[in-house]
Amino acid sequence: MLDHFPFYLALIVLILLLIMLGNKIKVAYPVLLVLAGLIISFIPGIPVLKIDPELIFVIFLPPLLYEAAWANSWKELWRWRRIIGSFAFVVVFLTAISVAFVVNAWIPGFSLALGFLLGGIVSPPDAVSAGAILKFVKVPKRMSMILEGESLLNDASSLIIFRFALIAVATGQFVWHQAALSFCWMVAGGTVIGLLVGMLFLKAHKWLPTDANADIILTLITPYAMYIAAEEVHASGVLAVVSGGLFLSYHRHRFLNVTSRLRSENVWQSLVFLLNGLVFLLIGLDMPEIIEGLKADGISFYEATGYSLLITAVLILGRMLAAYGAVIVTMLASRFITVADNRPGMKAPLVLGWTGMRGVVSLAAALSIPVTLDNGTPFPHRNLILYITFVVILVTLVLQGLTLPVLIRKIKMKEFNDHQPEEETIRELREALAREALEYLQTNHPDQLGQDLLLQKLAGQWQHQLQAHGTDKLEEHIAVIYRSVISRQREFLLQRNKTDSRIDEEVVRKFLHRLDFEEEKLKLD
């Protein structure tokens, strides 16, 4: 480990440089990292990175899923729950079945159980890749919300499929009624355990005499505690992290103070940035070892590549059909129930269908396949499954990742009327916050407002719908009043976000962040 420490540091530096390059040339960094890892892996003398398959999920998935849940909007998840649920569960299941039948028919020696295992591995698209690509082009807000929501849940559904298929391969049998009960327990148990652990950590933040550093450490421990607790009782660790993360994100203003919120945000952004970079680089670096495994199994490189491209084609075609199928189902369902949009059009499904890049979860699942079965015999076709997974990730990242921005620019999607325009929302919230501040001062501190010049200055700024960014040092009694005003404004924003579906939560979070920053500044004055 220590012998290769300089190499690991060099990899981190390379990740930084490649991400900077990607931002410069407007190419999604996962594409560059995978290609760079592939090139580096064939350099003579490069150390081979070894990761214990049993630890791959525990190391990478909990923090990545937790941060994604923390960043998601529960309001938007609920609004698009049907399309998100259909892609995260129904489409993933149908994709896994399609892959199972195709490989069973075309790849010699592949049973349906092995095909279902492979299907569970390659079925979930990667939201990190899609998000990295979409930041360079303008897409309707609903597209990014659906993709983010889908990514939270499709990981769980694909890994549940993966686990059942792994048991079927290992035991040679599959009992449907036992599988149904196990599935219900994994879903319900994982969700409940995530919520219970989330509540426990919420109470710990509130009851223990923590400071910002302790709060950050607790947030780092939280996703691992959720994941491990659920996995210990054979429930879904992924769903535990997702449900617990959404719960704590929704209540973040109840248990984290201003300093903890601001500092933990920076820590988590840096951590996830590094983990994502390492995972995508690892995908490329693992290629030579996979090819050597193919040779040991007597499978030719060209034959394995042909199988991989076939599976990739099945995945791309399947997602495109699912995207347009969702439009048809939505239009039919609108005759009987209220849907979020009964005329989604034909352009949105095209983009949604083409955002099928695979990545982190597929790699983690493939690497976690045990080398041997319980009886000591080699796991069947493990190296071929690894190779197919790698090619699927590589092809979808490069092909779809590089062409998606071109496709979006070409079809020129118009913004849907889901939220009121951002400029209008910003103006409305700014005026509303100023009104809340003035009403609070006039109701609770009328005497000071009439006597204190500095307080009158702040009131004047709010009167003109300006943010109070004055450089004057606030006296202590004014600072106390100012903190109360900020608390009143924060409560208003949180309540408005809950009750007004036309308000974009991302804009609300920007205002909340600004209030946190203003309150933090008071401690420095």
**C-beta atoms surrounding 235 within 10 Å:** 22
Q: 201 vs 90, which has greater pLDDT? A: 201
Q: What is the distance between the alpha carbons of residues 106 and 304, in angstroms, rounded to a whole number?
A: 12
Predicted pLDDT of residue 434: 81
Predicted pLDDT of residue 160: 85
Predicted confidence (pLDDT) per residue in 356-373, tens digit: 888 878 888 888 888 888
Residue type, 515: L
Predicted pLDDT of residue 294: 84
**C-beta atoms surrounding 150 within 10 Å:** 27
- Count of helix runs (H) and strand runs (E) in the chain: 25, 0
pLDDT at 335 over 70: no
pLDDT at 519 over 90: no
Predicted pLDDT of residue 277: 83
Q: Which two tokens stand for residue 480?
A: 């106390």
Predicted confidence (pLDDT) per residue in 366-403, tens digit: 888 888 887 778 888 888 999 999 899 889 988 988 88
Domains with residue ranges and CATH for the chain: 2-106+118-155+261-411 (1.20.1530.20), 422-524 (no CATH)
Which residues are bridge partners to 372 per DSSP? Answer: 378
Residues across the chain: 525
Tell me the backbone φ, ψ of residue 419, rounded to 5 degrees: -125, 155
